[in-house]
Amino acid sequence: MPIFSKKIAATFLALSALGLSLQIHAANPKEIRISLSGAGEGGKPKLGGFSIATAQARGVLEQEFKKDGIHVKWLFFPGAGPATNEALANGKVDFAFQGDLPSLVGRSTGLKTKVLFSTGRFGPVYVAVPADSSAKSFADLKGKKFSIFKGTNGQIVFNRILAKYGLTERDLRVINQDSYSARTALATGDIDATITSPFSLVSRGVAKTLLEIKDPKVAALTHFWVTENFEKQYPEVVQRVVTTLIQQAKWSSEEANRTTQYKLWAQSGIPLVDYQRTWDGWNLKDRNTPLLDEFHRSQIDSALQIAKQAKLIRRDVDTKTWYEPKYLNNALKDLNLQNYWRSFNANGQPK
C-alpha cells in the first residue's frame, strides 16, 4: 500500500475512533425508565407520600428532557420492590425508587445498582385492626392473622415492631398480601391486623388504630438508585435526573406547598385524610431530605442485619461501596442547597 494511502487509512481510523468515543460520551438515551416500587389503590399508576411521587405528578423530569427528545417512562409495579428487581434483572429499568429490603435483596443477588439519594424517612407507623377487634395491645395479637407485604420494606418495619414488643413471627399467623389487598381484608374482617395508614378506614367505621409508633428507627426507609450500566454510559443524564429531583425535593420540603402536595398524592386513590393525618405536624424538610447521612446508612445496615437474621438474604452486601454520592453533592452545590436539609445521626437526632 502506498505511503499516502496508509496515512489516509490511519487518519480515517483515528477519526473514526475519536468519533466513536465522542458518540459514546455525548449520545443521549432515547428513553429514561424509572420504576416506582408500588402503585395506587387498585393498581392506579400514581403514588403518594414521597417527593419522587410528586415529581411524577408534576412532570418535572419530562420538562427537563423535552428539549432533548428523551422520553421519560414511569413504571408502576403493584408488586412493589420485588417486581422492580425482576424488571431490573430483565434489563427494563434504569432508575428506581425502592425500599431498603428489596434493594438489598437485589444487590445481594448480583443486581448492580448505585444508591444516589434518600427519598423517605421518619414517618409514623400504624398497626390497624378491624373496628370490632378486642385487641388492646400488640401482645393481644398473638395467634392472630397479621398481613404483611413480604419482600418489601414493610417486612423490615414488621420485624422491628416484633422486636420492640418482644414477639417473634412465630407468635402470629403471618400472611402475605399487597397493601391494597390488606386494606380491603382489614375492612372485611378477613385479617386481624396490618400495618397501614388507618384514618380513611377509621372514618368509614371499619377499622381502628391499635398502635401509633413515632420511633424514627422503626419507620420504613426508601432511596433512589441508578443501574451501574446506565450510570457509566450516561453520567451527564444521571446528573440532570438527580439535580431535577433534588430541586423537586426542595419544593416538597417547602411549607407553602404542603396542601398542594397532599392533593397530588391523593390522586393515587389513598384518601386525602390519610396524608393529612400522617404528615400534619411533621417537619417537611426532615421527611423529604435526600441526604445520605449517618442515619440513612445506619438504617440500611440495620435492615441488612434484620434481613440476614430472618434469612431473607443469603449473601452479604457491602453497603459502603453501594453509594454514589457525587451526583447528590453536585446537585446540592449547583442549587445552593448545601445547608438546606439537616443531617441526622444513627439514632435519628439532628447533628
**β pairing state of 193-195 and 145-148:** parallel
Is 263 within the bounds of a domain?
A: yes
Is 18 within the bounds of a domain?
A: no
Q: Dump pLDDT digits (tens) for 161-204.
A: 999 999 999 999 999 999 889 999 999 999 999 999 999 999 99
- Residue type (1 letter), 100: D
Q: Dump pLDDT digits (tens) for 292-346.
A: 999 999 999 999 999 999 999 988 899 999 999 999 999 999 999 999 999 999 9
Question: Do 246 and 298 belong together in one domain?
Answer: yes
Range(s) of the domain holding residue 263 = 26-121+221-334
pLDDT of residue 314: 85
pLDDT of residue 339: 95
- Per residue, the 3-state secondary structure of 59-105, as one string, reads CHHHHHHHHHCCEEEEEECCCHHHHHHHHHHCCCCCEEEEEHHHHHH
Cell numbers representing residue 254 in the block: 417547602
Question: Do 66 and 168 belong together in one domain?
Answer: no
- Residue type (1 letter), 250: K
Domain with 174 in it: what CATH number? 3.40.190.10
Distances (CA, A) of 334 to 64, 244, 330, 343: 16, 11, 6, 19
15 or 281: which leads in pLDDT: 281
15 HSE (CA, 13 A, CB side): 6
Is 257 within the bounds of a domain?
A: yes
Residue 343 CA to residue 351 CA, distance in Å, equals: 6
Domain count along the chain: 2
Residue 285 CA to residue 302 CA, distance in Å, equals: 23
Q: How many beta carbons lie within 10 A of that of residue 289, not counting itself?
A: 26
**pTM (two decimals):** 0.88
Q: Give me the helices (H) in the chain, please.
A: 3-26, 51-58, 60-65, 80-89, 100-108, 153-164, 179-188, 199-203, 228-233, 235-253, 258-265, 272-279, 284-288, 294-309, 326-334
Is 235 within the bounds of a domain?
A: yes
List of residues 6+ apart from 328 with CB closer than 8 A: 116, 117, 242, 246, 290, 291, 292
Question: Do 256 and 313 belong together in one domain?
Answer: yes
- Residue type (1 letter), 155: Q
